[in-house]
Amino acid sequence: MQIAILAHEKFPERAKTALGVLRYGDYDVAAVLDREQAGTRVHDHVPDVQDAPIVAGMADLEEPIDALLIGIAPIGGGFEGSWRPDVRAALEAGCDVISGLHYFLSEDEEFAALAAENDCELRDVREPRDDLTVSRGVADEVDAEVILTVGTDCSVGKMTATMELARDAREAGHDAAVIPTGQTGIVIEGWGTPVDRVVSDFTSGAVEGMILQKGDDHDYLFVEGQGTIVHPAYSAVTCGILHGAMADKLVLCHAAGREAIHGYESFPLASIESYVDRYESLADPVKPAKVAAGALNTHGIAADEDARRAIEEYAENLEAPATDVVRFGTEEVLEALL
């Protein structure tokens, strides 16, 4: 499927979904829409993902697309008015629009009318199934070993670590699958439940349901974690995933140099050791699990040597092997997990 990805004013640093799709998705990306970066290419910013031209809007596409994908997710998940002309243009050209926003495009009157008129589809991937219920506390009964990524904050690389680890586990000959819990993971994998969008009482149950669905067909499940357990706004989702997944092992993800909660800068990050304690102590009465490895996002560190030193220090704090899964590969960490 040929798509364009909308990432206005956010590419690449603040366009998590766009980057995830470029890196792991099975889509043919015709262009990225970012009016601030128009004229450059994806590879000018991020060399190790699928390349594509960056254009200012739908009018500048050089080839037809099947769908426009909203590749950014602002805090709160709202829809920004400045994106409206591109979504309108896509629908008028008969393209589907895929969105992971809290704001459901299918409930937008103008978009719904345009989609009906032009016989195309508004796919709100964050809309959860309606048969969800409370957890029964049985996710650990599946055959698969369950590995959950947890984090010190949002946007530290949990989705990336999940995808890299699962891919490399498969390449090493293991039968590994991803349990996607957020919009990017769901867009990449083509299925999943947006756990941050379910009724709060069903948070754990939504994760348990996915694990029961896949857990007897694979040897390993890599569960995409969300947020952080000490987030001022999103900790509920993190906690529900932790107890619903009943993981055997945890991978603690962190971004080197991150000092405060992203978007909540008055809340400094706690020490790495204290995160390990919190996650393990919280998991313990439901299903004991250790932080068996760490994934450090060293994107902000220029020199490999400095990145390696940061990873070494991180691993010492964790008392577990660690790496930057994108920069240095997953080998050492996978050894500790599989």
Which chain residues interact with its own copies by CB under 8 A?
75-77, 102, 133-137, 195-205, 229-240, 242-244, 246, 264, 266-270, 274, 277-278, 281-282, 284-286
Closest distance to its own copies from the beta carbon of 127 (Å): 11
CA dist 129 and 126 (Å) reads 9
Tell me, rounded to whole angstroms, the distance of Cα 206 from its chain centroid. Answer: 16
Q: What is the dihedral of CA 322, 211, 129, 149, to 10 degrees?
A: -10
Tell me, rounded to whole angstroms, the distance of Cα 180 from its chain centroid. Answer: 8
According to DSSP, residue 237 is labeled H
Partnered with residue 179 across adjacent β-strands are: 223
Closer to its own copies at the Cβ: 157 or 205? Answer: 205
Closer to its own copies at the Cβ: 10 or 102? Answer: 102
Cβ(158)–Cβ(184) under 8 Å?
A: no
Closer to its own copies at the Cβ: 139 or 334? Answer: 139
Q: How many CA atoms lie within 13 A of 267 on its CB side?
A: 12
Closer to its own copies at the Cβ: 23 or 254? Answer: 254
Instruction: Count other Cβ atoms within 10 Å, centred on residue 82.
Output: 10
Closer to its own copies at the Cβ: 267 or 328? Answer: 267
Closer to its own copies at the Cβ: 3 or 291? Answer: 291
Q: How many CA atoms lie within 13 A of 156 on its CB side?
A: 26
**CA angle, corner 228, sides to 226 and 231, nearest 5?**
120
Closest distance to its own copies from the beta carbon of 56 (Å): 30
Closer to its own copies at the Cβ: 173 or 285? Answer: 285
Closest distance to its own copies from the beta carbon of 316 (Å): 21
Closest distance to its own copies from the beta carbon of 291 (Å): 15
CA dist 143 and 304 (Å) reads 39
Closest distance to its own copies from the beta carbon of 93 (Å): 32
Closest distance to its own copies from the beta carbon of 107 (Å): 12
Closest distance to its own copies from the beta carbon of 149 (Å): 17
Cβ(161)–Cβ(295) under 8 Å?
A: yes
Q: How far apart are the first and last CA of the chain?
A: 34
Cβ(326)–Cβ(304) under 8 Å?
A: no
